[in-house]
Structure 1
């Protein structure tokens, strides 16, 4: 069995796409997953599975949510090893920053720097971003809500053909802890 985190994009935000976590857990258990737990109301679930891989598990969960709840939800599934590697590869001094200043956008596929070539990095300083393995790290000293760089990074032409979902550093670290406990 491998332990995974499912990252759901855009649920329970602003009264839209309401998906109760208890019902999500039941749905995932019905799909044959073990040790299903949810974290917060914003769309993180930890589970163990002996079948499938990250992509097939995400596709299965996406389809099941739409069937059961009547609206589409983008899902990214990542295993404990990957989640740990994301934390270890952080190019910013995470221990010195407040969690609200550091975010990771998980991407459904690898991206190249060329996708972001038209972003004037100097114009957004002191905000910065860096690419990782299917992840984008964002340092936003004033928080995500005020970040002009986050706005530029989320433009449709940059995220075209990708699922992208962002988590603050506290959640990034917590997912590593939760998936380790499940292993």
Structure 2
């Protein structure tokens, strides 16, 4: 049995509103009996005998059926979330910047996003692996940061989801607790 983190893209922003209790209930109905949500931005930890690709497929199918939208998720096993947190070179908490990690199941999309970000002046970013790209934004100016504007373009937005590092740490800890429990 493996423990996984499931990151939903595009919920509770832009019209797709899902209560976390409803999300948990839907996933439990679909066989993920120990699904737990964290925060209100579509973060779930759960365990399954399926591999990550099958968990992704089943979660998306479940969300489409339960909530009637074109669901898209990134699924990482618990150990991988911990590796990404450890690999992030940027601070968890800083007075002047926020650390974000953009996730995708599509390596080519992250390759293109990384290249677009590298072309920007004064943007700080680092690839953490095939599925993750860490970057910094100034406090109070995340949406106005050059990298955020690039990542919001349709070709990137449709295949990525972004969390701040503090959220990923909470997900890592919850996934570890699930593994230990």
Q: What TM bracket, shorter-length normalisation? A: 0.7 to 0.9
Q: RMSD of the alignment, in Å?
A: 2.4
The Cα shift of 1:156 comes to 3.5
CA gap 1:90/1:61 in 2 versus in 1, 3 angstroms: same
Deviation at 1:124, TM superposition (A): 2.9
Match of 1:177 in 2: 173
* Equivalence for 1:13: 13
CA distance in 2, matches of 1:151, 1:39: 26
**Inter-partner Cα distance in structure 2 for 1:81 and 1:60:** 21
State the SS of the aligned residue for 1:78. strand
Gaps of 5+ in 1: none
Matched residue of 1:146: which SS?
coil
* Cα shift at 1:78: 0.9
Shift of 1:34: 3.2
Residue among 163, 166, 178 paired with 2:162: 166
The equivalent residue for 2:79 is 81
Correspondence for 2:62 among 61, 64, 69: 64
In the TM superposition, what whole-angstrom CA distance separates every residue of 1:88-127 from its partner, at most 9, and x where no partner exists? 11133x2563596100001113348862435454x431x3
Alignment of 1:122-161 (within 5 A): 123-125=120-122, 127-133=123-129, 134-142=131-139, 143-157=141-155, 159=156
Checking the alignment, whether the CA contact within 8 Å between 2:110 and 2:132 is kept in structure 1 is no
Q: Distance in 1 between matches of 2:86 and 2:66?
A: 36
- 8 Å CA contact 1:129, 1:136 repeated in 2: yes
The runs of 5 or more residues in structure 2 that have no matched partner are none
Matched residue count: 176
CA contact 2:27–2:59 (8 Å) conserved in 1: yes
Aligned counterparts of 2:68 and 2:109: Cα–Cα separation in 1 = 34
Q: Distance in 2 between matches of 1:2 and 1:108?
A: 18
What does 1:23-62 correspond to in 2, within 5 Å?
23-50=22-49, 52-62=50-60
